[in-house]
Structure formats: structure tokens, C-alpha cells
Amino acid sequence: MKEHTARLCAMALMAAGLTACASPRQSSPAAETPVPASSQSEEPVTLTVYLESVYTEEGTHYPIYEKLRAFDDAHPGIRLEYVSPVGGATDPAARETQIQQLNTEIITGGGPDVFLMATLRFTDSNLFPDIQKAMQNDSFLDLSEYAGTNGFDGGSCYPAILEAGQREGHQYILPLSFSVPLFAAAEPVVERLGFQADAAAADQPAFFGELSRVLQENGSQVAYSLSLTNLLEQPLMDYTQGTVQLDTEPVRQALTIEKEYIANQLHFFDNYSPDQVDALAEGTPAGVVEMSDLALGTLHSLEGKGVPVFLQGIPNESGGITAEITSYAMAGANTEHPEQCAELLYYLLSAECQDAAAYPCTTEELPVRRDSMQSSLEKEHSFLIDDASRETLTDENRALRQKAYGGNLQDSTIDKLRAVCDGVTAAHFHTIWYNALQLGQDENGDDVLTGAMNSYLYGDTSLDDLIRALTPRLQMYLDE
């Protein structure tokens, strides 16, 4: 979709750049009172860790890689080895071959012990493209029994975020970071428009109804880049009940709004362009409507120019906030070292790692631990200025980046962001519309779901036809 393409373009400014069904879950060794594995191993064990090559390349300093190396150094009983396929933009054929090989290993009972994943995909060659179906199919280790041993307190995290990685109350996937939908703008512009934030907070239709009102009355536009169906509280596909939920009122409303906004609003905003930021401060566009991993860059730029900022979470159909999981971690069900895997994974949810923004990301994402918000955002912003290459950047380079990226967000802005996150009532992984579910290709060679959605958003396909065509296909997929 075009709005997704715009999002990829924005992320490409900041960073260069898995279909597997696991074999039936093998039970892990039981332990009545497990103790940290690194303290009881006689021989060092090797954990293979899946992590994309952008994070492990020589000379880079991504926080996730730095903390993994620190874990390796601090645990003589555990050695980490990385499985890092090449990026799709670098060599798509080689990546496809590597992913297929990993799929084969996983299906036959092997594969990496640990998977560190990012939700946003730049290619259609990915492990576990449908992470929720993989969880339902017993692809991952049940981590719940190891939480207490590793000192993990779920109360330190946003509950709805953690629940996204649970099945029947058991934790199989550990979300590491997330993003929330935001309306970000210059505060004087929002006041001049007459935007009524309280009325807009009621639910998703109310928000976009109020935004459309002030935009039409003032002849203004916003930069829009969202997938609204992924921001509903209700999932499009209920993996627990095995039902497809496209033909519901919230989905119909979201798809109707999305088509309207794609047709009438801007699709891209460069928050690193001084001219565009200056125009934004004056109301052209009136603001940005996008996920926080992009919108935070706009807030940095506005505050860097001394402009007071407006920030509001975009509600779901129930008035809460639906988050997108942007990175997550799990262990393979077939691992021979479940305790060591759990020790590593829960380490990544520790205050040490969450404060350091140690998750696979290339943008400013939000930590799962509540108290890590400010420190993690400061770490991510500092990292963007250093651009993963501290040895090769000159002081002049850093000064230019500092000017373009602005400084750390003000405490008042962080408080507003915390308030949005406190309102999160649901969280989803990927949207189904791109590089996710694999239903084959249409007559044009496009992914079936992406092609169908594009025909609705940009073509002549009606909403009824879209729902009628996709519901049986998706139901068949769920039933497989």
C-alpha cells in the first residue's frame, strides 16, 4: 500500500538495510525449582541467536547487539552465536535461500535457539511471517515457568503489550518494544484550527470525524500514514476462536476512513527537512497522523525550533489505544537449552536492557517496561545521531545530525506520551496486509491481500466486494 511505502521511505532515511511451521512442540525438561542456567552448567552451552545482519555488522553499535555482547561476556556458561541472513535490499536471492534453509531446519526439529525479531518487514522473505499462527502451532518455548527464576515482574510492564505474546495465559513471545498511533502537531496550529481533543478521544470514528471537520473548515491537510484496521481493539483474525472478523462495524468504519484519508491527505512528511518542519510549525501540513516510531522525529524537530508541541493518541473503537508490537523475542520449541534461552530472553526485558533501548529497531520505539520510557528514548535518540558508526563520524557530522534531529524530548512531552501508553488496551503484531499471511499471488503477481486492499483503496473494488472476497480465503487459511 502507498502509505506503507511512505513509511518504508521514512525509515530508510534512518537505517540501511522470517513462513515457518514448526514441528510439534517438544516438551522442555521439567524443573520443580529451576535456577539460572548459567550458574549450573558444567560445560558452556552455545545458543544460536537469530538477529538480522543490520544489527550484527562489524563496526555497528546497535544497543541490542551491545547488550547481547555484554550478556555473553558476563555468562561464561553461555556462548552466543548469531544467525544473520542478509538484508532483502542487499541480496534478495541470497536472503530467500537463507530463509528457506532456516525454515527447513525448523520444520525438521532444528533451527536457532532464540529469535530476536522486528515486526516491520522490508521483504517478503521472513521467518514466521504470521507470528500469531506460529504461536498457536506450538512453535515456541513456554517461558512462563522461568519468569520467577529470572526475577521478572510482569507488573513492571504494560499489561496489554505482554498479553499479545500470550496463549491461554502462558507467555510464549516476549514483546520488547511497541509503537502507538499519534496525532502530532504544533500546539498553536491545533489551537488555531479549533480541534476539540476531548471530543476526538471518544473512539476512532469520533477522532477522524473531528479531524476531518477542522481540516475541511480550514482548508488544511495532514500527513497520514496508518493502517487503521491494525489499530482496532478487535483483531481481524481471532486465532483462538478460529474466526475471521472482517465483516464487523469497526472494521467497516476503519476501512472507510482509511480510503477517505488516503485519497485526500498527504502520504509523506520529511521531519529531517528544515523547510518542511518550518512549514509544519505554521500549519502546512496541520500535523502528522502516524505511528509514534515516526511521529517522535517530528516532535524532536518542532521542539528543536522552540515550537510547543501537541500530542494525542488516536483511539480505537472502544476509546482505548491499540499498540503495534515493533520488536519481540522468543525461543524455539525445539531448543535443547530452554533454561539458558529463558535467561537471555528475560535479560532483554530487564531494566538494564530496556533503559538502553536494547531491541532490534532502527527508529525511536517505546519500551515495554513503564519506567524505562525516558531513558530508552534518550538512548535511541543519541544512537540516531551517532548512526551506528561512532568510529567513522566526525564532530562536524555529529553537529549536523544534532541540528537535523533536535535534542531530547522535553519532560512534558514524555509525560504526554506516558499518558497515551497508560491508555493502551490492546496490542497486535503485524497488519495482515503486507509481507505477512501467505495466501498466494493474484493474476498480476501481487500478494493476494495487498493486491485486494490496493484495489479497494485506489481502485474500483467496493468495501462489500473486498470483505466478500477475502473472508473465505482467510477462513481457509485459519483452518489449515
DSSP labels for 259-319?
Answer: HHHHHHSB----TT-HHHHHHHHHTSSS-EEEEHHHHHHHHHHHHHTT--EEEEEPP-TTS
Please give the domain boundaries of the chain with CATH numbers for all domains: 14-179+325-355 (3.40.190.10), 448-479 (no CATH)
Contacts with 398 (C-beta within 8 Å, 6 or more apart), sequence order: 385, 386
Q: Which three cell numbers stand for residue 234?
A: 478487535
Q: Is the peptide bond before 235 cis (omega within 30 degrees of 0)?
A: no
The enclosing H or E element of 257 equals helix 249-264
Q: List the pLDDT tens digit at each of the 480 positions of the chain.
A: 544 444 444 444 444 333 333 333 333 333 333 445 554 556 889 999 999 988 998 888 899 999 999 999 999 999 999 998 877 667 778 888 888 888 888 887 889 999 999 876 656 677 888 889 899 989 999 999 999 999 999 999 999 999 999 999 999 999 999 999 999 999 999 999 999 999 999 999 999 999 999 999 999 999 999 999 999 999 999 998 999 999 999 999 999 999 999 999 999 899 889 999 999 999 999 999 999 999 999 999 999 999 999 999 999 999 999 999 999 999 999 999 999 999 999 999 999 999 999 999 888 999 999 999 999 999 999 988 887 677 778 888 888 888 888 899 999 999 999 999 999 999 999 778 876 777 777 777 677 888 899 999 999 999 999 999 999 999 999 988
Q: What is the pLDDT of residue 38?
A: 55
Look at residues 38, 34, 40 and name the one whose alpha carbon lies nearest to residue 148.
34
Q: Are 292 and 195 in contact (CB under 8 A)?
A: no
- How far is 3 from 348, CA to CA, in rounded Å? 32
Look at residues 78, 52, 141, 114 and name the one whose alpha carbon lies nearest to residue 348.
114
Cα atoms in the 13 Å half-sphere on the side-chain side of 317: 17
Residue recorded with cell 515456541 = 140
